[in-house]
Structure 1
Amino acid sequence: MTDTPVIQLSDLSIGFTGRAGYTLPVLRNIDLTVRPGESIGLVGESGSGKSTVALAAMGYLKRGLRVLNGSATFEGHDMFALNRKELESLRGGHLALIPQNSGQSLTPTLRIGAQLTEALRLHSRLDPAQFPARVLELLGQVRLPDPQAIIRRFPHELSGGQQQRVAIAMALAGEPRALLLDEPTTGLDVTTQAHILELLRDLARETGMAMVYVSHDLGAIARVCDRVVVMYAGEVVMEGSARQVLTAPTHPYARGLLASIPKLSDPHLPMALGGRPPAPGGAGDGCAFVDRCALASDLCRTTRPMLAPGPGGAPVRCHHADRADTLPMTSTGDHAARAGVGTAPVLSLQDLEIRYSKPGILDRLRGLQDTRPATVDDITITIAKGETLGLVGESGSGKSTILKTIAGLLPPAGGEIRFDGDAPLPRSVEQRGPDHLRRIQLIFQNPDDSLNPRHTIAEILEQPLKLYFGLSGTALQDRCVEILERVRLGGHYLDRLPSQLSGGEKQRVAVARAFAANPDLVLCDEVTSALDVSVQAAVLELLNDLKAAQGTTYVFVSHDLAVVRALSDRVAVLYQGRLCEIGPSAEVYALPSHPYTEVLLGAVLEPDPDTAPKLTADDVIELSPPAKGCPFQRRCPRKIGAKCDTDTPPWQTRDDGHAIRCHIPLDDLHRQQQADS
């Protein structure tokens, strides 16, 4: 295997011309070398330039940007000197990209099988007769259940995590020599994410594929990357081995990022990094991090630090790197205690059943019933005012489906939903009155689903304020600015379009839009998945503050189990649309009783390259539950026999409300878990 760089950025600066005619840099003097088989992680807050670096490696710049100096090469090709045809010959095949938003790479009108076949036709050297088998192999590699069924589906018939896995499969179809990954595991559950990262790491080592991995998830970075580059305000502030950067960082910013990460072992909300990065061109002559740094001095304000070897040998851009170890890397104290919970129920789900599939017209004429298992079945949960209920489970377990049904976007097939003690909620959003529409707000996993691309941020925020509160003029504008400030954006965002924002910034606008309606119940569908760890911590604090001040109730869906623990009072665990465990967060995390919950928590990634998840190599996610017996029977590591195959498991409930649905007695489960540990 050659040591010649696959990707090389040399003194690359990229910027745009502002309204006043000044050139404003987005990237400043970036040097990056990626060799065959090497995986480089790019980390930093939204807007730090990570995605711009990855796209520059492909020779792509967003509209309005231009190269100020430097170069970007791929296997010796100057990417900004190639014409369109030459770029197309490299992109997708030799140099592939997995985008943050899987929907951007999937055609909504084509079935999954056709899209993967097209990728093979364009970017592989296989004989067309080999395409069908290779399509199924790719889907199996990314752990999609029942590939034969998946190839016949359209993108909208898959969950967000399943769509993301299809996008990963498409990128791998051409067996690229370099893979650029922009938040590739954002929508994936913990078990799938861990297995996908193992696949990517093995491919890099076995085939020599180089990877540039952009992510807010420092646990994922620790698992797959050899080196880590920390970016802030468009420049590199630290780089080194994954172990150097993630366990002993010598830059205050890197330590602040680590302190912002919620931990499975810590029930408290994480500590948000104060302040915000400077706007492009606003770093001045000194250190770009000076206004947020606890070690800042007069020297930091007047002189830009150089990237030079620091304590431990890793290059760092800081005048006071020798004192960085005095700053914390974990949250300190109970700075954001969880808000209290009331006793009055605000939301009640009773025997809720949801089906996506419907009998065809011929089946209905014949009087035939759909005998396939329901997508979601037998969900009974009561949520108190001011409570946060976390819904967790793998992709396709029905979490988002339940939220959409509560919001009225998907009618239930059975059962009922009651809100604030009233009569059952109307089944569809069209049947609900303005008061219910205001009081129940849904924040989507993908902010593009709720942000009109043709409206400015001001117009997006003004709509609920005008509709529900009749605001206008100065009061309207002031309220928009206030709402943006609460999600750590400023008034200068009001004139921007969604396309001018990073993925994390768009998600913050979506959060702001929901809270503009002053809701009583907020349905959060992966609302922090696109946020960097510092902004994520700030949004969690915001949600908790609103809950304390207004008694806001949340149903919080997330694949990040540490985030769920930090915010939630109770946790409900779903498998294949069936509830298998529910109880107080502290109890569920301290003593996960159901075998499935045990599997989920064992797959959580820690930001430490020396800590590996607990995975089962032959564990395969299913597309639907078995017709009878325990839904988890085929994957259960503690299966006890034929009873699991044939009998529906009973509920076992403790005095504190912690309940599991399993045939194994609770005491026996706990003894087995203690023996294994």
Structure 2
Amino acid sequence: MTTQPLIDIRGLCVGFRGRSGSMLPVLHGIDLQVCRGESIGIVGESGSGKSTLALAAMGYLKHGLQRISGEVIYNGADMFTRTAAELARIRGGQLGLIPQNSGQALTPTLRIGRQLDEALRLHCALPAGAHTARAIDLLTQVRLPDPAAILRRYPHELSGGQQQRVAIAMALAGEPDALLLDEPTTGLDVTTQAHILELLRDLARTRNMAMVYVSHDLGVIARVCDRVQVLYAGETVLEGPTRAVLKTPAHPYARGLLASIPRLGESTLPRALEGRPPSPGSDRTGCAFAPRCALATDHCRAIHPPMVQGGTGQESRCLYPEQTAQMDMSGSGAPLSCCPRNSPLALALDTIAIRYDRPGSFARFMPARPGPPATVDDITLTIPQGETLGLVGESGSGKSTILKTIAGLLPPAQGRITLGDGTALAPRVDKRPPDQLRRIQMVFQNPDESLNPRHSVADILAQPLSLYFGLAGPELRRRATEALETVRLGAHYLDRRPGQLSGGEKQRVAIARAFAAAPEIVLCDEITSALDVSVQAAVLELLNDLKARHKTTFVFVSHDLTVVHALSDRVAVLYQGRLCEIGPSATVYAAPSHPYTEVLLNAVLEPDPDHAPHLLTADVAELSPPACGCPFQRRCPVKLGQRCDTDTPPWQKGADGHAIRCHIPLSELNKTGRG
């Protein structure tokens, strides 16, 4: 590792011009130095300036932002003084970016192979005939199954996690000297995330590559970063070695973030940080964190604290770092509201099968031949009123597909879905009456695809309020403000458009829109994946409170198994569109019975530098299930033999509704537990 920083940001101030004409800072005097072979983690709440800082390192600012002062030096020269031609050569080649939203990085009208070929052509000195082989190699590195088939697909034909892996492969195509990663594993399942992080760690070592890793996932930061820089309200409040920052943080804000994280071994909700960060342009007198800090005094509110070196190698912007060390970091939040026993039925799925393949117009003239296995098959679930059912599994396991079918966005190939009163839901949403539409609401994984960029937040929230309740005028705006406040956003967001919001803020608006309809059933598709840990904890409290007060039923899809554990009454585990385990959350997490469930739980990351995931040594991702036998047969670490290849595994029932689908006797699996 050289002593000369490859990326050297000095006193960077970035802001925008307010309505009064004055500049409102978003970043305040940021210093950041990254050497070759070094990985720096940037953490903080949504809106703290993390993504703005990462993009500024490329010499790029979003529309409306301006550099007020400071320098961004890359490889010896200021990025903001380079010519457009110089920047074009650096970006994507010497300096790679993996964005948070893969949908913005991929062109929807071009096949994946064409897009990878363009990246290789622009940034690699390879002969044209070698591009396809290199593209397949890149897709293999990011664990995409059947890379040759992926190259022929369009982005919309891939799941969100698969799209994100393509974006990572594109960023690695130019073999960059430095890599900027803006929440790159947000849409990835736990096993894929763990493998991708191992890949990034290896690349940083073997290529001597610098990495700036922006994330709200402190487990990810613990796994890949050498140092951590914590941002709050656009300024650095803590900086130091990863071990020191995560084990003994010297700032109350960092301790609050750690307390907001759900843990795999705890079934209680995490504790959310009270209050919200100050808005840009607000009074900067005193410590910015003082209104939310349990240690704050009048002295804190009067004096802006400088960065001070501590004994553990940390620099902290706090007047009382010694008292900070005594603060509690446990996440004992509100108790989980459990579904009452013998609750009436809210929703039932009966032998649902879903296919994406559709026969062409000439298929009826062709000889009959067996088609590929159904994407989702034989899904039977009953969900009581007031229950939260968690759907977990790797990317492509059918979780989001099931939600879309319940919502009427994707008609099933067979089976039926009924409400608790026995009313059958029409397969398509356009055939459902308004009352059924109101009763079932869905929050999508990617708010950029579900929020109209031309509408203000007020317009977005007005849609369900006016459609279902006939509200208008001042009452409509009042109810829209209430909806925003439930997700910890204020009335000043009403006149903003999605493009003016951070990723976490956009997701909160999407959640507020769903809740504004006063639904009975809410389908949650990775709704906390774009949220920082403190807002995530607040949203989990909100969902828990709605369930307690209104007996709202939730079907909760998430790659984050700790979040599912914290919120769900029951968990259903899916592999390749097939159920393999279902049961009470406490039972499944304490002693997973199915080998696949155990693989998932062993890959979970903790915000602890000493924790390492246990991965399968010879793990291969799959694009589709086998034609017969157990869906997990090719990857199972305890495969029995020929029977797993040919025979469909039976359901085995245990206590309290716990059941697995496996050839190995349940009694034998329970002896091993999680290991």
TM-score range with shorter-chain normalisation?
A: over 0.9
Equivalent residue, structure 2, for 1:292: 292
Letter in 2 for 1:667: S
Instruction: Provide the C-alpha distance between the structure 1 equivalents of 2:597 and 2:371, rounded to a whole number of angstroms.
Output: 28
Is this contact kept in 2: 1:197–1:223, CA < 8 A?
Answer: yes
Is this contact kept in 2: 1:250–1:311, CA < 8 A?
Answer: no
Equivalent residue, structure 2, for 1:541: 541
Equivalent residue, structure 2, for 1:36: 36
Is this contact kept in 1: 2:336–2:567, CA < 8 A?
Answer: no
CA RMSD of aligned residues (A): 1.1
- C-alpha deviation, 1:22, in angstroms: 2.0
Letter in 1 for 2:635: R
- C-alpha deviation, 1:370, in angstroms: 4.9
- C-alpha deviation, 1:494, in angstroms: 0.3
Is this contact kept in 1: 2:397–2:574, CA < 8 A?
Answer: yes
3-state SS of paired residue (1:422) = coil
- C-alpha deviation, 1:310, in angstroms: 2.3
Q: Residues 110-259 of structure 1: matches in 2 within 5 Å? A: 110-259=110-259
3-state SS of paired residue (1:386) = coil
Is this contact kept in 1: 2:334–2:541, CA < 8 A?
Answer: no
Is this contact kept in 2: 1:349–1:382, CA < 8 A?
Answer: yes
3-state SS of paired residue (2:263) = coil
Which segment is superposed worse, 358-367 or 75-84? 358-367
Is this contact kept in 1: 2:347–2:419, CA < 8 A?
Answer: yes
Equivalent residue, structure 1, for 2:330: 330
- 1:454 is aligned to 2:454: yes
- C-alpha deviation, 1:241, in angstroms: 0.7
- C-alpha deviation, 1:422, in angstroms: 2.6
Normalised TM-score (structure 1): 0.98
3-state SS of paired residue (2:632) = coil
Instruction: Provide the C-alpha distance between the structure 1 equivalents of 2:514 and 2:123, rounded to a whole number of angstroms.
Output: 42
Is this contact kept in 2: 1:239–1:315, CA < 8 A?
Answer: yes
3-state SS of paired residue (2:96) = strand
3-state SS of paired residue (1:231) = strand
Equivalent residue, structure 2, for 1:262: 262
- C-alpha deviation, 1:513, in angstroms: 0.3
Deviation per CA, 1:144-171, whole angstroms, max 9, x where unpaired?
0111111111100100000000000000
Equivalent residue, structure 1, for 2:594: 594
Instruction: Provide the C-alpha distance between the structure 2 equivalents of 1:146 and 1:673, rounded to a whole number of angstroms.
Output: 32
Is this contact kept in 1: 2:241–2:313, CA < 8 A?
Answer: no
Deviation per CA, 1:182-204, whole angstroms, max 9, x where unpaired?
00000000000000000001000
- C-alpha deviation, 1:448, in angstroms: 1.3
Letter in 2 for 1:642: Q
- 1:101 is aligned to 2:133: no
Q: Residues 349-368 of structure 1: matches in 2 within 5 Å? A: 349-366=349-366, 368=368
3-state SS of paired residue (2:272) = coil
Equivalent residue, structure 2, for 1:313: 313
Equivalent residue, structure 1, for 2:278: 278
3-state SS of paired residue (1:656) = helix
Equivalent residue, structure 2, for 1:343: 343
**Structure 1: tracts of 5 or more residues without a match:** none
Letter in 2 for 1:336: P
3-state SS of paired residue (1:113) = helix
- 1:508 is aligned to 2:508: yes
Instruction: Provide the C-alpha distance between the structure 1 equivalents of 2:353 and 2:517, rounded to a whole number of angstroms.
Output: 29
3-state SS of paired residue (2:193) = helix
3-state SS of paired residue (1:15) = strand
Equivalent residue, structure 2, for 1:380: 380
Instruction: Provide the C-alpha distance between the structure 2 equivalents of 1:538 and 1:287, rounded to a whole number of angstroms.
Output: 23
Is this contact kept in 1: 2:339–2:569, CA < 8 A?
Answer: no
- C-alpha deviation, 1:360, in angstroms: 2.2
Poorly superposed stretches of 4+, deviation over 3 Å: 339-342
Instruction: Provide the C-alpha distance between the structure 1 equivalents of 2:423 and 2:504, rounded to a whole number of angstroms.
Output: 38
Is this contact kept in 2: 1:190–1:603, CA < 8 A?
Answer: yes
Instruction: Provide the C-alpha distance between the structure 1 equivalents of 2:65 and 2:453, rounded to a whole number of angstroms.
Output: 20
Instruction: Provide the C-alpha distance between the structure 1 equivalents of 2:234 and 2:143, rounded to a whole number of angstroms.
Output: 36
Is this contact kept in 2: 1:652–1:661, CA < 8 A?
Answer: yes
Instruction: Provide the C-alpha distance between the structure 1 equivalents of 2:623 and 2:186, rounded to a whole number of angstroms.
Output: 21
- C-alpha deviation, 1:335, in angstroms: 2.4
Deviation per CA, 1:327-365, whole angstroms, max 9, x where unpaired?
111213x52332433621111001000000112222222
Deviation per CA, 1:446-501, whole angstroms, max 9, x where unpaired?
01121100000000001110010011111111111111011000000000000000
Letter in 1 for 2:561: L
3-state SS of paired residue (2:656) = coil
- C-alpha deviation, 1:85, in angstroms: 1.6
Instruction: Provide the C-alpha distance between the structure 1 equivalents of 2:95 and 2:204, rounded to a whole number of angstroms.
Output: 14
Instruction: Provide the C-alpha distance between the structure 1 equivalents of 2:395 and 2:366, rounded to a whole number of angstroms.
Output: 35
Q: Aligned residue pairs: how many?
A: 674
Instruction: Provide the C-alpha distance between the structure 1 equivalents of 2:75 and 2:275, rounded to a whole number of angstroms.
Output: 40
Is this contact kept in 2: 1:336–1:541, CA < 8 A?
Answer: no
Normalised TM-score (structure 2): 0.99
- C-alpha deviation, 1:618, in angstroms: 1.6
Equivalent residue, structure 2, for 1:24: 24
Which segment is superposed worse, 471-480 or 553-562? 471-480
Q: Residues 522-561 of structure 1: matches in 2 within 5 Å? A: 522-561=522-561
Is this contact kept in 2: 1:441–1:522, CA < 8 A?
Answer: yes
Which segment is superposed worse, 493-502 or 369-378? 369-378
Q: Residues 397-412 of structure 1: matches in 2 within 5 Å? A: 397-412=397-412
Letter in 1 for 2:295: L
Determine what percentage of the aligned residue pairs are the same residue.
67
Instruction: Provide the C-alpha distance between the structure 2 equivalents of 1:488 and 1:672, rounded to a whole number of angstroms.
Output: 43
Instruction: Provide the C-alpha distance between the structure 1 equivalents of 2:373 and 2:479, rounded to a whole number of angstroms.
Output: 47
Is this contact kept in 2: 1:339–1:545, CA < 8 A?
Answer: no
- C-alpha deviation, 1:82, in angstroms: 1.3
Letter in 2 for 1:335: A
Instruction: Provide the C-alpha distance between the structure 2 equivalents of 1:174 and 1:181, rounded to a whole number of angstroms.
Output: 15
Instruction: Provide the C-alpha distance between the structure 2 equivalents of 1:372 and 1:649, rounded to a whole number of angstroms.
Output: 20
Instruction: Provide the C-alpha distance between the structure 2 equivalents of 1:470 and 1:4, rounded to a whole number of angstroms.
Output: 63
Letter in 1 for 2:57: A
Deviation per CA, 1:287-329, whole angstroms, max 9, x where unpaired?
0000000000111111100011124231000001110022111
Equivalent residue, structure 1, for 2:76: 76
Instruction: Provide the C-alpha distance between the structure 1 equivalents of 2:504 and 2:621, rounded to a whole number of angstroms.
Output: 29
Instruction: Provide the C-alpha distance between the structure 1 equivalents of 2:581 and 2:358, rounded to a whole number of angstroms.
Output: 29
Instruction: Provide the C-alpha distance between the structure 2 equivalents of 1:103 and 1:173, rounded to a whole number of angstroms.
Output: 18
- C-alpha deviation, 1:24, in angstroms: 1.2
- C-alpha deviation, 1:283, in angstroms: 4.3
3-state SS of paired residue (1:409) = coil
- C-alpha deviation, 1:369, in angstroms: 5.2
3-state SS of paired residue (2:47) = coil
Equivalent residue, structure 1, for 2:603: 603
Is this contact kept in 1: 2:461–2:480, CA < 8 A?
Answer: yes
| Residues 205 and 2 (structure 1), Cα distance of their counterparts in 2 relative to 1, 3 Å cut | same
Deviation per CA, 1:236-281, whole angstroms, max 9, x where unpaired?
0001111011111010000000000001111011000000000112
Equivalent residue, structure 1, for 2:416: 416
- C-alpha deviation, 1:595, in angstroms: 0.1
Is this contact kept in 2: 1:43–1:50, CA < 8 A?
Answer: yes
3-state SS of paired residue (2:12) = strand
3-state SS of paired residue (1:337) = coil
Instruction: Provide the C-alpha distance between the structure 1 equivalents of 2:28 and 2:300, rounded to a whole number of angstroms.
Output: 18
- C-alpha deviation, 1:21, in angstroms: 2.0
Which segment is superposed worse, 422-431 or 255-264? 422-431
